Structure 1
Amino acid sequence: MNIAHSRLHRLDLVRLRVQLILEHIGMKIMHNRLHRLDLNLLKLFSALYVHRNVSVAAESMNLSQSAFSHALARLRVQLDDELFIRSRAQMIPTRYADSIHEPVAEVLSTLGSCFAPQTHFIPHESRHEFNFAVTDFTALLMMPRLMAHLERHAPLVRINLTSRSEKLPLAAFEAGELDFALGYSHFDEVQTPLINQWIWWEDCYCTIASDKLERMDLKTFLSRRHILVSPWGEKIGVVDEQLSKQGLQRDIALQLPNVMNAPFVVAGSELLLTLPKFAAQALQGALPVKRFDVPVDMPTYQLKLFTYKPSENTPENLWMREQLQSLFKSE
């Protein structure tokens, strides 16, 4: 197959893929109508869905506000829906717009993978910036090992870490503000086909207490009050889930948004803290605390790497994912 025929074949496959997606989301566009659909209007839809502001969305597409508004009017006619309703603060998507934005993103990703030139990522030369959403614990775990690795293999690369109020910050992924998110959960929280999750590091749990405590058993564990570390505000944790299976519960005295402050509270009180063993080992030497096995059956602690499907296979993101998996594969 020569290059011209190969490209035509790829275009036919993309066209079929787009048609199937559009029909699946309820547009009911037949093959002859699909030929007339201006796929640039899907980019317009996606830009306005992300920015919720016509002026900002128009600027992101290098269009005048007038041209953007005319194009939006055409799309409304083709889809027979208002799509966005103007309010004082922003353009609010209709229910139909909410229902189609993920498939539209998939259409754009499919087209992008077909037409975008493939570039090579050269670690030693790149000044690429990688953006991570992290907690204090995931940063503690990842950064010493990763930065030492980057100094040798990608010395000019920059790492940007941010904290997010959502466990799965989909809007930040869609806006291009994130490449990866690090989190942990023992439950399946991925509710969107736009996000992949990878289990890339595992550990066991332990419980720490003031060094005045001599021994730990279930009676002691339940009689003492506890600290709950909850970066995203949940009122119960994995310990509570495991206790409830046995008809038991613990008494939580303090809920904190991060793990780094909690051991300092433990050292000066009778409170208990259950956390991954890695964190306890990292902090134990600096504080008067003791580490005990948890007297409750516990699952393995799983640290998860979340990626955004439309951008997870770019050369630089593929490279970074490979580094993370390689650096922690023996844990």
Structure 2
Amino acid sequence: MHVLHFLQAIVHGMHDALRQLDLNLLLVFDALLRHRSVAMAADELAISPSACSHALARLRSALLDELFVREGAAMEPTAKARRLADGVQDGLRLLSTSLGEGRSFNPASSRQTFVFAATDFTTFALLPPLVAAVAAVAPRIRIKVEHSRRRDSVEALACGRAHFALGFADESATIHKGLDSITFMEGDYVVLARAGHPRIQGQLTLAQYLKERHVAVLPWEDEASVIDGALLQMKQARDVALELPSMLAATCIVAATDLLLTLPHSAAVHAAASLPLAIHPAPLRTPPYTLKAFFHPRHASTPGHRWMLAQMSQVLGSATPTQR
């Protein structure tokens, strides 16, 4: 029904000429959106560049807009193309899922797009090993990440924008009825400090922790930090020098300053692998975190999604970060 409603909205909301629009033209539109190149779009669709250009001309005529204009070496979308982009891509994704049910799935040749909703916390901790593993056996598959400002990112599943939601769960997490999930890793929070920090030698004590200044990463809307909540129960508070919505900037800042950063162990290990950072056990009790992937059962019925779930379970379920 979602597919039918989407197509009805396109047909009835635009010019009558769209009633006769070849749906293959929407595949050309999608490929041009992603590649910004007629030649690359044609290669993906297994057609000649001239056929792709001809299809674009038909789209322009049907939609009464240039849609893509050349800027330097790239074909950039017009304002109208940008307005159409999400609807067209969501519709194609729904069609692909619906029409693909019951068919076999060949990862080596598939060009399917899988959409993950995630904060940069979970993208940073989970996606690198998954993308590497998928690329090795499915070189043409596309993974798209939709940024979320919610802890478990499940709102994108409810409206059909995503196939999977990567998120944190702890003792205060909401139970989402109608969704399935798999757990990848569990762990505790740790503290990152720059290697050679002048005042932190050996074990980090609570007194030292409270004397230092901190970076607080708050990626989720309207939700207090787990760390500040744990300190509040102890009638303590940390001195926050910098509050950020992003994990990636935070680790770089800590590596260049004397500020401390408290974060999940799995994310700390990834950061310490590429930056001069030392990992210390947190000197306070916090609820353990669990990294999970949520998905709707209706998606899990298709061969492609079952394959991706298997990859996630194998790659992420076996991930056991070790402290450097």
TM-score with structure 1 setting the length: 0.60
Aligned to 1:123: 107
Q: What is the CA–CA distance in structure 1 between the aligned matches of 2:181 and 2:7, rounded to whole Å?
A: 29
Asked whether the equivalents of residues 194 and 310 of structure 1 are also in contact (C-alpha less than 8 Å), the reply is: no
SS in 1 for 2:299: coil
Of 145, 148, 165, 1:181 maps to 165
Report the equivalent of 2:134.
Answer: 150
How much identity, in percent, do the aligned residues show? 30
Q: Conserved in 2, the CA contact under 8 Å of 1:213 and 1:290?
A: no
How far is 1:141 from its partner?
2.9
Superimposed CA distance per residue, residues 262-311 of structure 1 (whole angstroms, 9 cap, x where no aligned partner):
12222343321111233333333554443211111233331111112332
Structure 2 counterpart of 1:195: 179
Aligned residue number for residue 100 of structure 1: none
In 2: Cα distance, 1:47 partner to 1:122 partner: 27
Match status 1:58 vs 2:13: no
Are residues 1:243 and 2:193 paired? no
Secondary structure at the counterpart of residue 298 of structure 2: coil
CA gap of 1:312–1:167, structure 2 versus 1, over 3 A, is: farther
- Measure, in 2, the Cα distance between the counterparts of 1:170 and 1:123: 26
59 and 326 in structure 1: CA distance in 2 versus 1, 3 angstrom threshold: same
Mapped to 1, the partners of 2:259 and 2:13 lie a distance apart of 60
Measured in 1, the distance between the counterparts of 2:100 and 2:277 equals 55
Which secondary structure state, in structure 1, belongs to the residue aligned with residue 135 of structure 2?
helix
Larger Rg belongs to: 1
Distance in 2 between residues matched to 1:201 and 1:277, nearest whole Å? 10
Q: Structure 1 189/183 Cα, relative in aligned 2: closer, same or farther at 3 Å? A: same
Whether 1:272 aligns to 2:222 is no
Higher alpha-carbon deviation: 256-265 or 275-284: 275-284
Give the match's secondary structure for 1:311.
helix
CA contact (8 A) 2:130 2:312 kept: yes
Post-superposition CA distance 1:81-138 (Å, at most 9, x none) = xxxxxxxxxxxxxxxxxxxxxxxxxxxxxxx99x996222222232111111123332
> Residue 213 in 1 paired to residue 199 in 2?
yes
Structure 2 vs 1, CA of residues 285 and 194 (structure 1 numbering), >3 Å: closer, same or farther? closer
Any idea what the Cα deviations from partners look like across 1:43-67, whole Å, max 9, x if unmatched? 48x977xxxxxxx67336x6799xx
Residue by residue over 1:187-245, the C-alpha shift from the partner in whole angstroms, topping out at 9 and shown as x without a partner, is 45445423333322223321122422333201111222322212113453222232233
The match for 2:316 among 315, 325, 328 is: 328
| Residue identity opposite 2:221 in structure 1 | G
| Equivalent pair of 1:208/1:290 in contact (CA under 8 Å) | yes
State the match for 1:263 in structure 2. Answer: 251
Aligned residues of 2:216 and 2:244 also touching (Cα < 8 A):
yes
1:177 aligned counterpart, secondary structure:
coil
Secondary structure at the counterpart of residue 165 of structure 1: coil
Change (3 A) 1:153 1:246: same
Question: Aligned pairs, how many?
Answer: 233
Instruction: Tell me which amino acid in the other structure corresponds to 1:296.
Output: L
- 1:160 maps to 2:144: yes
TM-score by length of 2: 0.61
C-alpha separation in 2, matches of 1:189 and 1:47: 35
- Provide the rounded CA distance (Å) in 2 between the counterparts of 1:64 and 1:277: 50
Tell me the distance in 2 between the aligned counterparts of 1:264 and 1:289. Answer: 9
Counterpart AA for 1:213: R
CA distance in 2, matches of 1:222, 1:154: 48
1:185/1:116 CA distance change after superposition, 3 Å = closer
In 2, the alpha carbon distance for the partners of 1:301 and 1:171 equals 20
The one-letter amino acid of 1:223's match is K
Q: Distance in 1 between matches of 2:301 and 2:180?
A: 11
The root-mean-square deviation of aligned C-alpha atoms, in Å, is 3.2
Is contact 1:201–1:304 with CA below 8 Å preserved after alignment? yes
Q: Which amino acid aligns with 2:137?
A: H
